[in-house]
Chain A
Amino acid sequence: MSDLLKIADKTYNSRLLVGTGKYKDFTETRAAIDASGAEIITVAIRRTNIGQNAGEPSLLDFLPPEEFTYLPNTAGCYSADDAVRTLRLARELLDGHKLVKLEVLGDPNTLYPNMIETLAAAKTLVKDGFDVMVYCSDDPIIAKQLEEIGCVAVMPLASLIGSGMGILNPWNLQIIIENAKVPVLVDAGVGTASDAAIAMELGCQGILMNTAIAAAGNPVLMAGAMKKAVEAGREAYLAGRMPKKLYSASPSSPTTGMIG
């Protein structure tokens, strides 16, 4: 069965998008990403170390941009201006690459997004020709506004970044999914495989995660678990679950042909 994720006219087999931060080393990063089956991977844009890393390997040596779709992010940006500036540098860095992840944070403790700055940055970036996948709060009105601005995917949090608290408000996510005409991906908050399955069963088009894999006891094993959970959740969503009933007068075994 062909069931591809489509974002900005490009299709992907994997509905699991992963971050590349917080790993022990690049070898572990690579092994975990391979086990996850992810095709889209996020990267951060940071100042290059000058004069102390001439021969040092870089992330790009382990994850060649030819092999993956890079999704440069604006992690750590607290204003629309900083986010736009960061992504313009990313576009230059990645030879005109247009697909980006926008996130503008509002608070260093919770990493909760600042949606006023996010909306402003999204407008500028869309006008500037970027394909914007946008991290956002789980407010259905904001999600709709981001779609109307022209973002190619809306990515509400399931719970706070790095918290691993799971899907805290499935009802809001469901409203966002039902109203959206662009893909909705859960970004942030997934802690373990069942969280990923629940998000996919709600009808999310995909999930973006980093810490749930990188901070697991065995990141490579967890990456494989997440791959399966996303696939299982997606298939369950497509299959359509049975209705919930408090009890059933319909046993699974025949009621006739009993002995005696």
Chain B
Amino acid sequence: MLITINGKPRSFEAANLSVAELVQHLELVGKRLAIERNGEIVPRSQFEATPLADGDKLEIVGAVGGG
């Protein structure tokens, strides 16, 4: 399945992938982040229960220095 993450398309072999599994795959476990899927926020508590689908667009963001 093809998922666009932060503007870049990425393909995954797995047919079923949850947001939690994706976070693990991207080595982001334990990082403070927020995820938006197709324009809707996925609460952290819903990562496990949220399946991804082919064509999904994700934004994964964190806090950085700024004024």
A contact set with B: CB distance below 8 Å? 18-23, 29, 42-48, 50-51, 54, 58-60, 70, 72-73, 75, 85, 88-90, 92-94, 161, 208-211, 214
Please classify the interface of chain A as helix (H, G, I), strand (E, B), loop, or mixed, using the class held by over half of its residues.
mixed
B contact set with A: CB distance below 8 Å? 5-8, 26-28, 31-36, 39, 41, 43-44, 59-67
| A186 and B7 alpha carbons, distance in the complex (Å) | 36
Contact partner, A58, options B7, B31, B41, B61, Cβ 8 Å: B31
Q: A50-B5, A88-B41 are in contact. Are A75 and B66 (CB under 8 A)?
A: yes
Inter-chain residue pair count (beta carbon < 8 A) = 98
| A59 and B62 alpha carbons, distance in the complex (Å) | 10
Q: Tell me the smallest distance from the CB of A6 to a CB of chain B, in Å.
A: 23
Q: Is the CB of A46 within 8 A of B34?
A: no
Q: Which residues of A contact B66 (CB under 8 A)?
A: 19-21, 42-44, 73, 75, 210
| A90 and B32 alpha carbons, distance in the complex (Å) | 11
Q: Is the CB of B67 within 8 A of A54?
A: no
Q: Tell me the smallest distance from the CB of A92 to a CB of chain B, in Å.
A: 4
Q: Which residues of A contact B36 (CB under 8 A)?
A: 85, 89
| A29 and B61 alpha carbons, distance in the complex (Å) | 21
Q: Which residues of B contact A85 (CB under 8 A)?
A: 36, 39
Q: A58-B32, A60-B32, A93-B33 are in contact. Are A21 and B65 (CB under 8 A)?
A: yes
- Additional pairs, 11, CB under 8 Å, beyond known A85-B36, A85-B39: A18-B67, A19-B67, A20-B66, A46-B61, A48-B62, A58-B32, A89-B61, A90-B34, A92-B34, A92-B44, A94-B63
